[in-house]
Structure 1
């Protein structure tokens, strides 16, 4: 752990930046949850940041709970008026929302963002359905009925009845509210960091991220991110190599811990040049 903290400090000095890590274990099912913004807070309050430097969050995550993600963002905003995000590999699903809240978004060559359509476990809904369903799945059912089976608009009530038979109405209203919430947050973050962006353009981008993809695990590369209108940057080779090697070191540390019973299984690491906080189970 000391080697990681020391490397963070060395990078800060060499690049003249403040550096924060949020890295999830590739071998874990860890997703962003309520523990993360508490761990982030404990890291931030234990560190003295140079207000004259740019702050970079280096992130690797497959996403998680939207409400917890928003609290994670708000915790960062409590300490920094502006912060940048660097993605070496993945910031999928709600991890993409963190990226959208940044002042500068730097994507490495292998970086992947992801769609933001709301999802819910189907265990509490009904058996014989996929373990996870999203709002996009429900909307696609209507389109599929029309395109595949020629169902006409006059039969929309029948289609709705079929959906309600399998998915409780309040679950449908949850999807509706969740989608509205996510769309609103995307628009909010885009406009905060792009003062010239109109609300119509921000909503167009938000709608692309929420409703524009056929699968939730679609990988949005940096080329595609530019096409949908995201304001991203390509990091210079030195910075990308340095920060990617740091992430690889943290992943190696978490893999090593998997073989050490005294350390426990580390799901994620949040760290600064003063402290590392490991989420274990």
Structure 2
């Protein structure tokens, strides 16, 4: 379905929800996936400027995550244009996507809607080297480090400062102390961001509920890939989740499926399949920002080449540029 037809669905969703709708869809097609990142902010700004003083802006969001700092700026930007801000979740809104939801007045989730924990994995120059790829570093999950120390105390029965110090030294022998310092900074950062995003709501939550939400989305879920259903988000985590009407749910899912089809998310991007002759240039789209005011696409541009040296039949792929392009 082309954008002009999708725009009609976006308009109908807006009428049903009584909001101006902007779609931010980061595709997860293998080899050309996109994630939440600060480069989307000028794109969203253009779409927000096209709105006519709305009372409520609803962000239709699909993402597997991304930069944890971007949600803070993104939510602030949207709230510059409207007093009320909602997020529409047709399916996945993990990690940084869940952080965006914390800044919303309402989170509208379909039956397939999923949120995720907000415990980030951090990578820097001091992280352990990947034995299978010496140029790469192994991510260290923030909650894994704190869970190790909790394991030493609660299951190992270690209570004295001396024995706890020894447990920490064992950890520091495996993970560089500066990497551990970076873990602690991110531990504090994600909790601070979650709290500040929750405080942006028009009707702030009581302190006890804020602490419960933050703890639930960090150490209490125990697995970074835990998928939070709308029932769990509402009843256990106590997020401001609402269920859409039957018609709104159908439209949200139709819009989601159309983005999936256009981004060909059900099959990996295989450069060998598009190669014609010895060299083929390509453009492939990895994500969209759409509203009634227009369409922007995140486009990968590159070249696929067949090389016979040093071995025959080798395929090389070079991404020459990538970024947002306004199409309408």
- The alignment's TM-score, normalised by the length of structure 1, stands at 0.88
In 1, the alpha carbon distance for the partners of 2:299 and 2:34 equals 10
Superposed, which structure 2 residues align to 1:199-218 within 5 Å? Answer: 199-218=207-226
Indicate the residue corresponding to 2:71 in structure 1.
69
How has the CA–CA distance of structure 1 residues 144 and 13 changed in structure 2, closer, same or farther, with 3 Å as cutoff?
A: closer
In 1, the alpha carbon distance for the partners of 2:105 and 2:221 equals 25
Question: CA deviation digits over 1:178-203, x for unaligned, max 9?
Answer: 22222122223334326362223212
CA contact (8 A) 1:96 1:113 kept: yes
Instruction: Select which of 100, 105, 130 maps to 2:102.
Output: 100
Is residue 2:60 matched to residue 1:51? no
Unaligned segments of structure 1, at least 5 residues:
none
Question: CA deviation digits over 1:86-127, x for unaligned, max 9?
Answer: 101011011001111111111110111001112113775113
Question: CA deviation digits over 1:33-81, x for unaligned, max 9?
Answer: 1212222122222x133525x3221100011111122222222122222
Indicate the residue corresponding to 2:297 in structure 1.
278
In 1, the alpha carbon distance for the partners of 2:294 and 2:36 equals 20
In 1, the alpha carbon distance for the partners of 2:28 and 2:102 equals 23
In 1, the alpha carbon distance for the partners of 2:41 and 2:105 equals 19
Is residue 2:192 matched to residue 1:189? no
Unaligned segments of structure 2, at least 5 residues:
132-136, 275-279, 301-328
Is residue 2:145 matched to residue 1:138? yes
Q: After the TM superposition, which of the residue ranges 124-133 and 152-161 deviates more from structure 2?
A: 124-133
In 1, the alpha carbon distance for the partners of 2:282 and 2:289 equals 16
Q: After the TM superposition, which of the residue ranges 74-83 and 267-276 deviates more from structure 2?
A: 74-83
How has the CA–CA distance of structure 1 residues 6 and 201 changed in structure 2, closer, same or farther, with 3 Å as cutoff?
A: closer
Question: CA deviation digits over 1:114-154, x for unaligned, max 9?
Answer: 01112113775113589332111101212334566x35223
Instruction: Select which of 83, 86, 104 maps to 1:84.
Output: 86
Indicate the residue corresponding to 1:248 in structure 2.
257
Compute the displacement of 1:243 (Å): 1.7
| More helix by percentage | 1
In 2, the alpha carbon distance for the partners of 1:14 and 1:103 equals 17
Q: CA RMSD in A?
A: 2.7
Indicate the residue corresponding to 2:112 in structure 1.
110
Indicate the residue corresponding to 1:160 in structure 2.
168
In 2, the alpha carbon distance for the partners of 1:15 and 1:204 equals 28
CA contact (8 A) 2:152 2:164 kept: no
Count of residues in Structure 1 that have an aligned counterpart in Structure 2: 278
Indicate the residue corresponding to 1:32 in structure 2.
36
Indicate the residue corresponding to 2:230 in structure 1.
222
Indicate the residue corresponding to 2:277 in structure 1.
none
CA contact (8 A) 2:119 2:224 kept: yes
SS across alignment from 2:84: coil
Q: Which has the higher contact order (CA 8 A, sep 6+)?
A: 1
- The alignment's TM-score, normalised by the length of structure 2, stands at 0.76
In 2, the alpha carbon distance for the partners of 1:126 and 1:145 equals 22
SS across alignment from 1:116: coil
In 1, the alpha carbon distance for the partners of 2:294 and 2:15 equals 16
CA contact (8 A) 2:126 2:176 kept: no
Indicate the residue corresponding to 2:248 in structure 1.
239
CA contact (8 A) 1:88 1:107 kept: yes
Q: After the TM superposition, which of the residue ranges 150-159 and 190-199 deviates more from structure 2?
A: 190-199
